[in-house]
């Protein structure tokens, strides 16, 4: 069985407190190293903050593109695509094609750039 482990945390302007950074980094590295050695790690990425997010929502067949993260409590995370695109417009074009409707209700695609974080060597 494959599982998606999603990290939820509180964003702070300028990132986590400097004194916490090393601890967070080494803890991630430990998980990544061990999971990778055991062959269970399929992928891991950090996201840029929600201020970098763009939402694409279909409304009567027309895509509505807006600034900011997805923010509907009545909708739940249902899946994800990870794509290498040349720019945000290309990502938006893909997002428009991804169906979000479920049980007659429309959903939303949130596009978030992936941060280039260091990896354990």
The nearer residue to another protein, 39 or 118, going by C-beta atoms, is 118
| Total number of residues that touch another protein (CB under 8 A) | 20
What CA–CA distance (Å, rounded) separates 15 from 98?
A: 31
Residue 66: beta bridge partners? Answer: 55
- Exactly one of 67, 73, 79, 101 binds another protein (CB under 8 A); that residue is 67
Q: What are phi and psi of 21, to 5 degrees?
A: -55, -50
Produce one character per residue of 85-109: b if its CB has 16 or more CB atoms within 10 Å, e if not. eeeeeebbeebeeeebeeeeeebbb
Rule CB under 8 A: choose which of 3, 76, 89, 99 binds another protein: 89
| Shortest distance, position 3 Cβ to another protein, whole Å | 27
**Locus of tokens 């990896």:** 119
Say whether residue 69 binds another protein (CB under 8 A). Answer: no
Binding residues for another protein, per CB under 8 A?
A: 48, 51-54, 63, 65-68, 86-89, 92, 113, 115-118
């Amino acid at each position: 069985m494959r599982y998606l482990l999603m990290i939820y945390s509180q964003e702070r302007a300028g990132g986590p407190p400097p004194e916490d950074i090393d601890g967070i980094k080494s803890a991630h590295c430990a998980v990544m190293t061990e999971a990778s050695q055991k062959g269970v790690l399929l992928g891991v990425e950090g996201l840029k903050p929600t201020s970098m997010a763009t939402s694409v929502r279909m409304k009567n067949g027309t895509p509505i593109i807006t600034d900011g993260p997805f923010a509907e409590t009545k909708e739940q995370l249902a899946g994800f695509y990870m794509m290498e695109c040349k720019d945000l417009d290309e990502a938006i074009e893909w997002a428009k094609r991804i169906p979000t409707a479920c049980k007659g209700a429309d959903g939303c695609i949130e596009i978030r750039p992936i941060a280039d974080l260091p990896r354990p060597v």
